[in-house]
Amino acid sequence: MIYLIILFFLVLFTIQYDVNGYRVSNSLVFIWWLIFVLLAGLRYRVGGDTFSYMISYKTIPSIENLTYKQLVSNVYQPFWVILSSLCKSVSKDFTFFQLIHAIITNSIIFYFIRKNSNYFFTGILFYFIFYYLYFNMEILRETLAICVFLLSLKYFFSNKWLKYYILCFIAFMFHLSAILLFFLPLFKSIWTSRSYIIVFFTILIILILFKNTILSNILSLIPIEGIRLSASKYLGAKANLNGIIYISVVKIFIPGFIFYISENIIGYKSIFRPFLYLYILISIISIFLGPFYRFENYITPIYFLFLANMMHELFHCPRVRSFRYTIVFLIFLLPFSMQIITIGKDTSERVPGTRFYSFWYPYSSVINKKIDIKREQLFSSYARTNNLIYEKK
């Protein structure tokens, strides 16, 4: 119910401030930031990956007891271990870490939206619908790497490469998927031309033909054992038929259609446009090389902020003025309907009466500490499948 209440008021605020053109005050931004932080920070056993992180948090020593061996042998990346260790020094309760993580994540994403959009509430509405739960309750380590990447964008566009690569290194030390960020500058000079497509499809063909050799060489170059073990798990991922269909529709066809509308109907040119082409190309590569799907997460905030801005530009476009409500609704309906299908996936084969959203619904906070039996059973099932540790409460 709490999710629907927040969603309802976000829609109202979007209409009042973004559609009707009222100015958004800093105090209003802070109130909504606080809501987003507390919802994620005060959750109790909500989110599939959260279970794993709760267990690992217990094994990480406080910062004064953390040794170099423990740092480099951990399956998680060093900066994640250090952050967890620092939080552990303050409180052994995982809730404290959740709050710190939620503060960092939502501060940076709110800043990114505020800085790059004139439609703040549309931006956080899309954030809440499409990736808030995923970023705040699932991929916690990668979320921090993504947030660092968002901070690095201003240095990327201004060609301040030292600062950009420092932030890339920090991101990599939170999650190994950030290795892609080191290669982005190599393509900056060509990604606005047709040669950009040629280069990426050449890389795609090379990866398909020599993927096993390439992936094994990547693993051999990673010096830290914990990161190497984690990397081998991701590099072994493969897309099945359902995955190929999902990627083709959700991450290739729909974004491609949206970009076509933005450029050929309304002429909306965004500074982030090349990243959106990259999103589609990475999705194509991930059909053949499963690990590449992780790289899409870095562009997700850019993609949905682009969509939010583009819909407002479309709404005011003279060429579609007579049926602007219909076309804007349909543009939003495409990704929204796929999101509903995704989170509504039936998981009854694992636990009867559950769906994928059971990882997040019903919501439980540290105030009442209510345990949802089906969510516990669902994570236990996934833990057995993926060789994860599950601690029954």
Q: What is the pLDDT of residue 132?
A: 97
pLDDT digits (tens, 9 = 90+) for 53-72: 998 899 898 899 888 887 87
User: Is the separation of the CB atoms in 62 and 88 below 8 Å?
Assistant: yes
Tell me the C-alpha distance between 124 and 127, whole Å: 5
Reply yes or no: is the peptide bond before residue 274 cis, omega within 30 of 0: no
Q: How confident is the model at residue 135 (pLDDT cuts 50, 70, 90)?
A: very high
Whose CA is closest to 138, among 228, 40, 42? 40
pLDDT digits (tens, 9 = 90+) for 297-322: 999 999 999 999 988 888 877 777 77
200 found inside a domain? yes
Report, as an integer, the average pLDDT of 23-52.
94
**Could you tell me which residue, 291 or 168, shows the higher pLDDT?**
168
Count of domains in the chain?
A: 1
275 found inside a domain? yes
Number of other CB atoms surrounding residue 91 within 10 Å? 12
Q: How confident is the model at residue 92 (pLDDT cuts 50, 70, 90)?
A: very high
Report, as an integer, the average pLDDT of 200-210.
69
Tell me the C-alpha distance between 359 and 260, whole Å: 35
Residue 260's domain comprises 190-343
Share of the chain above pLDDT 90, in %: 44
Q: What is the pLDDT of residue 212?
A: 63
How big is the CA angle at 174 (ends 172 and 180), to the nearest 5 degrees? 30
Q: What is the pLDDT of residue 200?
A: 65
Q: How far is CA 316 from CA 262, 308, 328, 335, in A?
A: 12, 13, 10, 21
78 found inside a domain? no
Q: What is the pLDDT of residue 142?
A: 95
Q: What is the pLDDT of residue 223?
A: 54
Tell me the C-alpha distance between 209 and 101, whole Å: 40
Tell me the C-alpha distance between 32 and 212, whole Å: 46
On the question of pLDDT at 164 being above 80, the answer is yes
pLDDT digits (tens, 9 = 90+) for 209-220: 666 666 666 555
Q: What is the pLDDT of residue 300?
A: 93
283 found inside a domain? yes
Contacts for 137 with CB less than 8 Å, ≥ 6 apart? 40, 43, 46, 47, 48, 49, 50, 359, 360
Tell me the C-alpha distance between 113 and 303, whole Å: 12
Q: What is the pLDDT of residue 118?
A: 92
134 found inside a domain? no
Long-range contacts, 123-128 (Cβ 8 Å, 24+): 123/304, 123/305, 123/308, 124/10, 124/32, 124/36, 125/7, 125/10, 125/11, 125/14, 125/308, 126/304, 126/305, 126/307, 126/308, 127/301, 127/304, 128/6, 128/7, 128/10, 128/36
Report, as an integer, the average pLDDT of 93-98.
96
In the numeric block, the tokens 């992180």 are attached to 53
210 found inside a domain? yes
Calculate the dihedral angle through the C-alpha atoms of 311, 315, 316, 320, rounding to the nearest 10 degrees: 120
Q: How far is CA 87 from CA 59, 84, 90, 165, 251, in A?
A: 13, 5, 5, 26, 36
On the question of pLDDT at 186 being above 80, the answer is no
Whose CA is closest to 77, among 10, 172, 209? 172
39 found inside a domain? no
Share of the chain above pLDDT 70, in %: 83
Q: Give the tokens for residue 346.
A: 């039936």
On the question of pLDDT at 390 being above 60, the answer is no
Q: What is the pLDDT of residue 148?
A: 98
On the question of pLDDT at 388 being above 80, the answer is no
On the question of pLDDT at 36 being above 90, the answer is yes
pLDDT digits (tens, 9 = 90+) for 111-129: 999 999 999 999 999 999 9
Calculate the dihedral angle through the C-alpha atoms of 365, 370, 371, 373, rounding to the nearest 10 degrees: -120
Q: What is the mean pLDDT of the chain?
A: 84
DSSP 314-346: HHT-GGGGGGHHHHHHHHHHHHHHHHHHHHT-B
Q: How confident is the model at residue 254 (pLDDT cuts 50, 70, 90)?
A: confident
Q: How confident is the model at residue 194 (pLDDT cuts 50, 70, 90)?
A: low
Q: How confident is the model at residue 76 (pLDDT cuts 50, 70, 90)?
A: confident
360, exposed or middle or buried, with CB in 10 Å at 0-12, 13-18, 19+?
buried
**Could you tell me which residue, 136 or 273, shows the higher pLDDT?**
136
288 found inside a domain? yes
Q: Give the tokens for residue 390.
A: 């599950």
Tell me the C-alpha distance between 216 and 232, whole Å: 9
Q: What is the pLDDT of residue 10?
A: 96
Q: How confident is the model at residue 366 (pLDDT cuts 50, 70, 90)?
A: very high
Tell me the C-alpha distance between 103 and 41, whole Å: 8
Report, as an integer, the average pLDDT of 365-376.
91
Q: What is the pLDDT of residue 202?
A: 74
On the question of pLDDT at 238 being above 80, the answer is no
Q: What is the pLDDT of residue 8?
A: 96
**Could you tell me which residue, 293 or 147, shows the higher pLDDT?**
147
